[in-house]
Amino acid sequence: MSQTLSDSNAAIQYLTVNLAHEEYGIDILAVREIRGWTPVTRIPQAPEYVLGVLNLRGAIVPVIDMRLRFGLAREDYTATTVTVIITVAGRNFGVVVDAVSDVMDIAADKVRPVPDMGTTVDTEYLKGLTSIGERMVLLLDVDKLLQPQDAQMLEGALDAMSDVKAVA
Amino acid sequence: MSTVSLAQFHQVFFEESLEGLDAMETALLALDKGGDTELVHSIFRAAHSIKGGAATFGFPEMAAFTHEAESLLDELREGRRAIDGPIVELLLRTVDCLRGMFDRAQAGQPLADAASEDLRQQLAAMVGRALPAAGKSAATKSAAASGWLIEFRPHTGMLAGGNEPLRMLRELAGLGQLDVTALVDAVPALDALEPSECHMGWRIALTGAATREAIAAVFEWVEDECDLRIEPLTAPAPAATVAPPIAAATAAASPAETGAAPRAAATANADAGSVRVGIDKIDSMIDLVGELVITQAMLDQFREEFDPTRLPLLQQGLAQLARHTRTLQERVMGIRMLPIGSVFNRFPRLVRDLSQKLGKQVKLDLVGEHTELDKTVLEKIGDPLVHLVRNAIDHGLEVPEKRRAAGKGETGTLRLEAFHRGGTIVVEIVDDGAGLNREAIIAKALQKGLIKSGESLTDSEVGELIFQPGFSTAAATTDLSGRGVGMDVVRRNVVDLGGHVAISSRPGNGTTFTITLPLTLAIIDGLIAEVAQERYIVPLTSIIESVQLREGVMRTVAGKGELLYFRERYLPIVRLGEAFGCGGAQDDMIIVVESDGVQMGLVVGALVGQQQVVVKSLEANYRRVEGISGATILADGSVALIVDVAGLVRMQSRRKAA
């Protein structure tokens, strides 16, 4: 990933969000919309960090709490809590973050690799970090964010198969 | 070669031709029972269209094959040959063979095989013309010529049939180098010229390795409407006028590349299903949309100036809006609705073949062919129905001697009936055969260990046994049925569609299978149930009734398992709150549901109401969840999950097994 970034110096726009007093950037092209927090419908047999599903103009979209996803304590949802709807590989999902803060251009050559320490978030989900003045922004790799979801889907498929066997 | 651009029409050609084949089959079966010449005409027309289409769209083998059938039909049409059983049989096999060709065409495989070649020879033999083996003739003829001289003189009326000489010339250009001379000697003076007629002819010198057959195939569609001469360029000796039928017939072996490209392209869009919609349906929707626009404009006035005195008008407008929306919804869903006749149509043939094979006499009654079903449901119901019909003929109906001995008419009756019953479609398969053989079924179930000896079973429980996997009572496994993979698959298919199968049997008087299906898969009637502040939808079709959880309706087994005592039976229960992990210890309503013939009690908190809900996929963005079949959006915009009753039954039985 870092190699493709160093290939080009073109700036990429990032939406920055706050999570546990740290600032994270999400590639704005993956962001579909930002909604205020609204209660969701819980789904049975889902991992804890999958809060449930919401109605996005007729489509049923799962919502993930980023704090829970990264093993942080769940915080009360406040007026600034938002759901960012992200589209990756044709699938939509929402992530709940503490607040949205800014949209900024970050040039590819300003992005540095992540040292393997000192962040709340597992470095696996990061594609780099950058600093803007005093602030440090951690750039999220949204493709990877979905990967645990893929694993679940696989689980789902296996479940379905064992179902068929149980009946046959 | 211009055929590449034709590839986009292949799917339409396939669909139309398959419809044509269905029509041919229906007409042939009617003919078998003694029909009039109009039937022969309609069969001929269908065959002719397929032949023409096949030649145009680059399937020369199919065109050649159909040509032979057409020659035979032509003799029947003109009364030169009497219609008898063997001919109908041969033509029915031709229809089957063509279906196989279309399957292979869609899969991009070579069209002709040994069976089709054999059948083609038989057809040719029938009209009294022996064909040279296709492969050899092509090889010998094509070796001789380095080019061909073609003289093509269309009859004046050829253009009226939609035939385009330019297209043929383009196609010829794909076979080799062309040198074309227009023959204008027959063109009349300008004042006598009728512009819609063709007076021109062409003399074409074709240099290249093309075979005579490949050239003849180009003109196949117009062979009756032109004078055509094809001579080798190398041998300017007396030209043999090629009689078009023979030329066309031997075209089967034309070079493979003429067909290969379009076939590959055709497979690409073979999967995209399409629906034919009647113009009247579309018109009525356009009307409705017009009404909606008017209503919307009317309501819009209130936005500009709101006057409380006009409140009744607003109410009226909203009522109108609701009515139009509902009607529009019905009409749009109606587009997906197709008559079940399209599935029933295959049965006359199936019944005819089967009864001949088994030496039984069967009269097939089809009732309610116009009953409409969702396209998706319709596509999936065909195979289960075929299975039930086969079973009815194989196991249900008796041979004539036995029927006579039982005091019944020699001809058995098999009735397929489709009708509406309260928001569902019911399909009944009724035979007047021997009914279920209770003793044989019980003996088999004992042998398979499905029941224990000494168990006394009710008739409906015996009926249930035949739906068990691996169950078959046929003494000898025939190729029709008896492999024991039938009835459980039938039931599973129907349950997957949200329906159920029931069986009732009258010993000595026959068996009735009743399949109940939802009208559509996209909208269901549901009961909204509340479990610990969460709302779930239970499909109405699977609900039997709901009861209050009172003292005494529940029995505890071994101190932990709970059973519901309901109408003199003990049913397993599932506490929805526990199954879905949302608590709900206070729940005190029980919804009795049924799936797969298994009844079960669902314990929920409260019943909120009944509503039509639009089924949305949970898998589109998330994944499959066990016990949940989908989601829907309630009036307040929130999401509610739809309970998968069949899935819960499976969960329950698995828990029992564990």
Tell me: the pLDDT tens digits for A85-99? 998 877 888 999 989
Alpha-carbon gap: B158 to the closest alpha carbon of chain A (Å): 53
Q: How many whole angstroms from its chain centre is CA B57?
A: 24
Residue of B nearest to A87 (CA): B621
Q: Are B390 and B481 in contact (CB under 8 A)?
A: yes
Looking at the predicted structure, is the pLDDT value of residue A84 above 90?
Answer: yes
Chain A residue whose CA is closest to B620: A91
* Chain A residues lying within 8 Å of B638, measured CB to CB: 39, 41, 55
Nearest to A60 among B469, B621, B653 (CB): B621
pLDDT digits (tens, 9 = 90+) for B255-314: 333 333 333 333 333 345 677 777 888 898 899 999 999 988 888 888 887 778 888 888
pLDDT band at B202 (very low <50, low <70, confident <90, very high): confident
Q: Could you report the predicted ipTM of this complex, rounded to two decimals?
A: 0.77
Find chain A residues with C-beta within 8 A of B618's C-beta: 43, 53, 60
Strand A91-97 to strand A59-65: parallel, antiparallel, or no bridges (unpaired)? parallel
Q: Is residue A166 within 8 Å of B657, Cβ to Cβ?
A: yes
β B639-643/B534-539 pair status: parallel
| Amino acid A148: pLDDT | 52
pLDDT grade for A34, boundaries at 50, 70 and 90: very high
> Can you tell me which residue has the tokens 């304590």?
A73
- Return the amino acid letter for A96: V
Contacts of B623 in chain A (CB under 8 A): 149, 152-153, 155-156
Distances from the Cα of B453 to the Cαs of B88, B443, B456, B459, in angstroms? 52, 9, 8, 16
| pLDDT category of residue B100 using cuts at 50, 70 and 90 | confident
pLDDT of amino acid B560? 64
- The three-class DSSP label of residue B182 is strand
Which of B619, B639, B650 is the closest to A166 by Cβ?
B650
pLDDT at B269: 36
Selected residue of B621, B632, B638, B655 to mutate for chain A interface (largest A Cβ count, 10 A): B621
pLDDT score at B427: 93
Q: pLDDT-derived band of residue A121, with 50, 70 and 90 as boundaries? A: low
> Which residues in chain B are contacts of A92 at CB distance < 8 A?
621
Can you give the pLDDT at residue A158? Answer: 46
**Measured over all CA atoms, what is the biggest interatomic distance in chain B, rounded to whole angstroms?**
107
Nearest residue on chain B to A54, alpha-carbon basis: B639
Chain B residues within 8 A (CB-CB) of chain A?
A: 469, 492, 534, 579-582, 616-628, 631, 633, 637-641, 647, 650, 653-654, 657
Distance CA B212, CA B231 (A): 9
Output the pLDDT for position B196: 78
Question: Taking 60 as the threshold, does the pLDDT of residue B2 lie above it?
Answer: no
Instruction: Report the residue of chain A nearest B578, measured CA to CA.
Output: A44
Q: What is the pLDDT of residue B451?
A: 77
Q: Write out chain A residues lying below 8 Å of B650, CB-based.
A: 163, 166-167
Highest mean pLDDT among A25-34, B171-180, B391-400, B437-446: A25-34
Q: Do B638 and A55 touch (CB under 8 A)?
A: yes
pLDDT of residue B473: 54
Rounded to whole angstroms, how far apart are CA atoms B361 and B356? 8
Rounded to whole angstroms, the Cα distance separating B50 from B116 reads 16
Q: How confident is the model at residue B418 (pLDDT cuts 50, 70, 90)?
A: very high
Task: Assign A63 to helix, strand or coil.
Answer: strand
Burial B43-59 (b: 16+ CB within 10 A, else e): bbbbbbebbbbbbbbbb
Q: Is A91 on the interface with B (CB under 8 A)?
A: yes
The verdict on a CB contact (< 8 Å) between A155 and B623 is yes
Q: Distance (Å, rounded) from C-alpha B32 to C-alpha B655? A: 56
C-beta neighbour count of B297 within 10 angstroms? 10
> B622–A60: do the CB atoms touch at under 8 Å?
yes
The torsion defined by the Cα of B255, B258, B264 and B269, in degrees rounded to 10, comes to -140
Among A44, A156, A167, the residue with its CB nearest the CB of B623 is: A156
Distance in Å, alpha carbon of B268 to nearest chain A alpha carbon: 22
Nearest chain B Cα distance for residue A119, angstroms: 29
Q: What is the pLDDT of residue B99?
A: 87
Is A55 in Cβ contact with B633 (below 8 Å)? Answer: yes
- pLDDT confidence tier of residue B482, bands split at 50, 70 and 90: very low
A11 reaches B (C-beta below 8 A)? no
Higher per-residue confidence, B559 vs B86: B86
- Average pLDDT of span B479-495: 66
Q: Are B437 and B415 in contact (CB under 8 A)?
A: no
- Name the residue of chain B whose CA is nearest to A148's CA: B622
User: Is the pLDDT assigned to residue B391 strictly greater than 90?
Assistant: no
B503 has pLDDT over 90:
no
Which residues in chain B have their CB less than 8 angstroms from residue A149's CB?
622-623
Which residues from chain B sit within 8 angstroms of residue A161, using beta carbons?
none
DSSP B118: H
pLDDT at B641 over 90: yes
A49 min Cα distance to partner chain B (Å): 13
Q: Predicted confidence band at B143 (pLDDT cuts at 50, 70, 90)? A: very low
Q: How confident is the model over B319-363, as pLDDT tens digits?
A: 889 888 888 887 887 787 888 888 898 888 888 888 888 888 889
B582/A42 CB distance under 8 A = yes
Give percent helix, percent strand, percent coil of chain B, each to the nearest 5: 45, 20, 30
Q: Which residues of B68-107 are buried (b: 16+ CB within 10 A; e: fewer)?
A: bbbbbbbbbbeeebebeeebbebbbebbbbbeebbebbbe
What is the per-residue pLDDT for A167?
Answer: 40
Q: Does A18 touch chain B (CB under 8 A)?
A: no
Q: Tell me B519's DSSP state.
A: S
